[in-house]
């Protein structure tokens, strides 16, 4: 690596003709003297038509032990540059060395404890106290508790922080920024990268912050890169980098800048520099049009007035002993393709094409080095996750009790037999002159069988008498009754004839001995229930009548009998059918939304970035989250199973441990899907929308509420490609059939869940990698 650094320095210096000590020393002093080296950095966001170039051939040199003030208008790319320096973003092309190594490599220690990073966002946990915040980062950096305590005391006094037991969310904006600043300083890193640390800070404190930075650099040899919008405060920096449109227009000591531009203030100098740059750009544009018009000579030697200083002139006029000014010549105001750096023997390549100076740079191929998760960082992350969960009672109740609450709502509302269903009864057997009284006997006599039959209809049905069919049908049409039962005038006699005639009964007799029913079939479930109960009532009525007549009760009843079921019991309720699917969907979707929500909100608040820059790896964050989510999963699954099995008596005929295992696995699949959503989405809203949007299709297609056999064949294929389907089938087999893991349907559910976990995790890594380059 050292060799790489040397070669890097040599090539850079030869190209830029820089005479300062920063680049020319091939003996490895670059690594000693330079904290940060950036060469020919280009970075753009987005793809295709939305591609937006932010860094365009930027060079930057930060000496060790110096303070470097990075100035520039809003949106010129300062934060982007800093995030590339700390290894959170990758350049599209160009090279960066931080403390002698490429950021992001194992040997660099960047991201890691060598850097202290204060992002623009607050990047603090609102539910932590100030003390807990610093202790958390203390654990991340594996600092001794005595050191943590002394730093806490020192920084509290120095930054005038509120009492350390105050929750961060209760602090003012300025106080929160100071806590954020304290986090960056806390572990006394070699390199401090501060993105606008003095925003919202009063002038007195700003003054003491700068004093502290100066002491850090002078007394302790620490390097500080600081961006600020208060240009004048940057006078205290050793070097100022003036940035515009993704390039450094100047990199100079404040005094040299003022002298060279003959301006009283940095602000004026910056203004002058920008105006010069603008003129240079216009001239370059004009030259290009001249070239197009055939005036190549002039194009190669553009002339400018004295005020419009050419880039090379500025370099020559500048005192190069301290740092350098490298205003690069630009084509058409765009990023330079003129300069090149090579990083031989390592991972970077430049390919010159046709000697025209056009360069194509291959993307870096970092070797895949994997570091084992660190126990102290894992400990800090797990502790933080638990603190965040348990501290907020609302979130705690939601996380642990919501699945059980959902299961309760499901059990209370779904699958029960409907009651209070009104049915119109028109019984023409009744005699109006005798007040339509429905008397019947229970012996073996054929008298008023209509009334005898009606006695057997379940109480769930309320019988509403009507005088005639048209009145009852009107009630049906107006939604007052769910159906109309009609008995003919001589129903009992006709029924008797039919019984005695047996196979010889004529059609007229058959029709008159029928109980005719008109149903309001607009509600399929109610329709099915009423039909079932009316038929059952007839079976019971007839058996009773046969018994009264000393006949075999089963005689004459339809010869189709449902014997004891192979699995389950007769009349399995809809709730029992849905329960396995529901348990899995509840656990799965809770895991999806919780995981996606936690990650997206941490990333949005800059917390993820801050932790990653502190050296926490994505693997550690994932493991920390998995452990945290796993314990939630245990709580959620336990409560859901208790609710289903004990409170609502859903039977589980198989091994309960196996059922719980299948549910856990699906919880993991949910977590991985949540992670995938989090890698795609930049804000909570889109993550929430995506997880919500996936809920209905997933539950419906996965056969939670309707058998997959009832779907069209093409949809069945989709159904079986859903992550929940096989697991639901497996759980149903365990619950209803009592099957074990040796059955194909059960182990297929387990194997496919595991495959989903693997596929989703791989997808997450791919998306993360792609986004690292496009972000």
- Can you spell out the DSSP letters for 644-681? IIIIS-----S-HHHHHHHHHHHHHHHHHHHHHHHHH-
**At its nearest, how many Å lie between ligand ATP and the CB of residue 281?**
18
Nearer to ligand ATP, 52 or 372 (CB): 52
Classify 330 as helix, strand or coil: coil
**At its nearest, how many Å lie between ligand ATP and the CB of residue 770?**
13
**At its nearest, how many Å lie between ligand ATP and the CB of residue 775?**
5
Residues with Cβ within 8 Å of residue 620, at least 6 apart in sequence: 373, 374, 377, 378, 381
**At its nearest, how many Å lie between ligand ATP and the CB of residue 60?**
14
Residue 202 DSSP one-character state: -
Taking the C-alpha atoms of residue 23 and residue 29, their distance in angstroms, rounded to an integer, is 9
**At its nearest, how many Å lie between ligand ATP and the CB of residue 93?**
17
When computed from its CA atoms, the radius of gyration of the chain, rounded to whole angstroms, is: 40
Residues with Cβ within 8 Å of residue 89, at least 6 apart in sequence: 43, 80, 83, 772, 775
**At its nearest, how many Å lie between ligand ATP and the CB of residue 241?**
12
Going residue by residue from 3 to 42, which x/- string records binding to ligand ATP, judged by CB under 6 A? ----------------------------------------
**At its nearest, how many Å lie between ligand ATP and the CB of residue 226?**
12
Stretch that binds ligand ATP, among 46-54, 346-354, 578-586, 753-761 (CB under 6 A): 46-54
How many residues interact with ligand ATP (rule CB under 6 A)?
A: 14
Nearer to ligand ATP, 53 or 711 (CB): 53
**At its nearest, how many Å lie between ligand ATP and the CB of residue 121?**
10
Nearer to ligand ATP, 76 or 248 (CB): 76
**At its nearest, how many Å lie between ligand ATP and the CB of residue 242?**
12
Nearer to ligand ATP, 58 or 454 (CB): 58
Residues with Cβ within 8 Å of residue 585, at least 6 apart in sequence: 695, 698, 699, 702, 704, 724, 728
Reference 325, options 269, 392, 268; nearest CA is 269
89 binds ligand ATP (CB under 6 A): no
Long-range contacts of 644-651 (CB under 8 A, 24+ apart): 644/407, 644/411, 644/579, 644/583, 647/408, 647/411, 648/407, 648/408, 648/411, 648/575, 650/411, 650/575, 650/576, 650/579, 650/735, 651/576, 651/735, 651/736
Q: Which of residues 675-704 bind ligand ATP (CB under 6 A)?
A: none
As a 3-state breakdown, the chain gives helix, strand, coil percent values, each rounded to 5, of 55, 10, 35
**At its nearest, how many Å lie between ligand ATP and the CB of residue 227?**
7
Nearer to ligand ATP, 86 or 423 (CB): 86
Three-point CA angle 196, 198, 202, nearest 5°: 160
Nearer to ligand ATP, 54 or 426 (CB): 54
Residues with Cβ within 8 Å of residue 1, at least 6 apart in sequence: 100, 101, 107
Nearer to ligand ATP, 72 or 403 (CB): 72
**At its nearest, how many Å lie between ligand ATP and the CB of residue 44?**
9
Stretch that binds ligand ATP, among 34-42, 44-52, 364-372, 377-385 (CB under 6 A): 44-52
Interacting residue with ligand ATP among 38, 54, 96, 678 (CB under 6 A): 54
Nearer to ligand ATP, 120 or 287 (CB): 120
Going residue by residue from 145 to 164, which x/- string records binding to ligand ATP, judged by CB under 6 A? --------------------
Name the burial class of residue 236, with classes exposed (0-12), middle (13-18) and buried (19+) by CB atoms within 10 angstroms of its CB.
middle
Interacting residue with ligand ATP among 6, 45, 308, 319 (CB under 6 A): 45
Q: Which of residues 429-488 bind ligand ATP (CB under 6 A)?
A: none
Phi-psi category of residue 719: left, alpha or beta, with phi > 0 → left and psi -120 to 50 → alpha: alpha
Contact predicate 213/226, CB 8 Å: yes
Residue 101 DSSP one-character state: B
Stretch that binds ligand ATP, among 45-53, 393-401, 487-495, 588-596 (CB under 6 A): 45-53
Interacting residue with ligand ATP among 33, 61, 120, 175 (CB under 6 A): 120
**At its nearest, how many Å lie between ligand ATP and the CB of residue 773?**
12
Work out the number of other CB atoms within 10 angstroms of the CB of residue 332: 10
Q: Which of residues 736-775 bind ligand ATP (CB under 6 A)?
A: 775
Reference 486, options 423, 413, 442; nearest CA is 423
**At its nearest, how many Å lie between ligand ATP and the CB of residue 71?**
10
Nearer to ligand ATP, 70 or 662 (CB): 70
Classify 60 as helix, strand or coil: strand
Residue 468 DSSP one-character state: S
Asked whether the CA dihedral 28, 31, 33, 39 is positive or negative, the reply is: positive
Strand partners, 52: 45
Going residue by residue from 55 to 84, which x/- string records binding to ligand ATP, judged by CB under 6 A? -----------------x-xxxxxxx----
Nearer to ligand ATP, 77 or 403 (CB): 77
Beta-sheet strand order (sheet of 239-244): 115-118, 191-195, 223-227, 67-72, 239-244, 247-252
Taking the C-alpha atoms of residue 236 and residue 224, their distance in angstroms, rounded to an integer, is 12
Q: Which of residues 332-361 bind ligand ATP (CB under 6 A)?
A: none
Nearer to ligand ATP, 47 or 693 (CB): 47
Residues that bind ligand ATP in the complex, under the rule CB under 6 A = 45-46, 52, 54, 72, 74-80, 120, 775
């Amino acid at each position: 690596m050292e060799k790489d650094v040397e070669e890097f320095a040599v090539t850079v210096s030869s190209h830029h003709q820089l005479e300062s000590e920063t680049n020319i020393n091939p003996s490895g002093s670059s690594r000693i003297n330079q904290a940060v080296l950036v060469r020919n950095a280009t970075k753009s966001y987005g793809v295709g038509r939305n591609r937006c170039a932010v860094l365009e051939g930027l060079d930057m040199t930060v000496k060790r032990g110096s303070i470097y003030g990075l100035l520039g208008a809003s949106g010129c790319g300062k934060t982007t540059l800093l995030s590339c320096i700390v290894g959170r973003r990758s350049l599209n092309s160009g090279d960066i060395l931080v403390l002698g190594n490429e950021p992001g490599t194992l040997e660099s220690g960047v991201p890691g404890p060598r850097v202290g990073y204060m992002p623009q966002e607050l990047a603090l946990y609102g539910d932590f106290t100030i003390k807990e915040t610093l202790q958390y980062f203390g654990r991340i950096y594996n600092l001794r508790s005595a050191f943590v305590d002394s730093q806490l005391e020192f920084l509290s006094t120095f930054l005038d922080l509120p009492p350390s037991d105050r929750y961060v969310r209760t602090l003012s904006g300025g106080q929160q920024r100071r806590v954020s600043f304290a986090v960056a300083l806390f572990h006394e890193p070699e390199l401090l990268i501060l993105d606008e640390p003095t925003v919202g800070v009063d002038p007195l404190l700003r003054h003491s912050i700068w004093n502290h930075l100066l002491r850090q650099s002078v007394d302790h040899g620490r390097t500080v890169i600081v961006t600020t919008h208060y240009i004048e405060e940057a006078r205290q920096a050793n070097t100022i980098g003036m940035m515009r449109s993704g390039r450094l227009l100047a990199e100079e000591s404040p005094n040299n800048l003022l002298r060279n531009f003959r301006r009283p203030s940095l602000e004026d100098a910056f203004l002058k520099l920008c105006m010069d740059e603008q003129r240079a750009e216009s001239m370059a544009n004009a030259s290009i049009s001249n070239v197009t018009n055939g005036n190549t000579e002039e194009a190669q030697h553009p002339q400018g007035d004295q005020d419009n200083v050419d880039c090379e002139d500025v370099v020559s006029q500048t005192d190069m002993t301290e740092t350098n000014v490298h205003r690069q010549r630009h084509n058409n105001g765009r990023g330079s393709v003129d300069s090149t750096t090579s990083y031989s023997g390592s991972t970077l390549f430049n390919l010159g094409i046709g000697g025209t100076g056009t360069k194509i740079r291959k993307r870096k191929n970092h070797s895949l080095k994997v570091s084992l998760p660190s126990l102290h960082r894992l400990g800090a992350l797990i502790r933080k996750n638990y603190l965040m969960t348990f501290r907020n009672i609302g979130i705690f109740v939601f996380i642990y009790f919501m699945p059980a609450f959902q299961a309760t709502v499901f059990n209370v509302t779904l699958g029960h037999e409907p009651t209070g269903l009104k049915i119109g009864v028109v019984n023409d057997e009744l005699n109006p002159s005798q007040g339509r009284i429905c008397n019947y006997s229970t012996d073996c006599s054929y008298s008023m069988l209509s009334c005898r039959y009606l006695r057997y209809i379940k109480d769930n049905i309320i019988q509403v008498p009507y005088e005639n069919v048209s009145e009852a049908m009107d009630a049906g049409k107006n939604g007052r009754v769910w159906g109309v039962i009609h008995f003919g005038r001589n129903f009992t006699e006709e029924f008797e004839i039919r019984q005695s005639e047996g196979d010889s009964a004529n059609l007229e007799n058959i029709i008159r001995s029928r109980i005719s029913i008109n149903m309001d079939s607009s509600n399929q479930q109610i329709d099915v229930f009423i039909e079932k109960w009316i038929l059952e009532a007839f079976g019971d009525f007839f058996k009773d009548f046969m018994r009264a007549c000393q006949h075999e009760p089963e005689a004459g009843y339809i010869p189709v009998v449902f014997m004891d079921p192979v699995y389950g019991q007769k009349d399995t309720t809809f709730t029992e059918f849905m329960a396995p699917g529901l348990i899995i969907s509840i656990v799965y979707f809770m895991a999806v939304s919780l995981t996606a929500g936690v990650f997206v909100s941490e990333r949005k608040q800059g917390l993820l970035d801050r932790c990653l820059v502190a050296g926490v790896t994505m693997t550690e964050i994932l493991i920390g989250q998995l452990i945290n989510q796993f314990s939630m999963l245990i709580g959620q699954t336990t409560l859901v199973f208790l609710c289903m099995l004990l409170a609502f008596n859903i039977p589980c005929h198989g091994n309960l441990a196996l059922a719980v295992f299948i549910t856990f696995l699906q919880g993991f699949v949910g977590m991985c899907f949540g992670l995938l959503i989090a890698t795609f989405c930049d804000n909570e809203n889109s993550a929430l929308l995506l997880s919500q949007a996936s809920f209905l299709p997933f539950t419906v297609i996965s056969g939670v509420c309707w058998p997959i056999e009832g779907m069209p064949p093409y949809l069945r294929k989709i159904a079986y490609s859903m992550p929940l389907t096989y697991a639901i089938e497996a759980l149903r087999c365990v619950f209803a059939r009592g099957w074990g893991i040796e059955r194909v349907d059960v182990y297929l559910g387990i194997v496919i869940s595991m495959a989903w976990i693997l596929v989703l995790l791989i997808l997450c890594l791919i998306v993360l990698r792609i986004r690292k380059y496009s972000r």
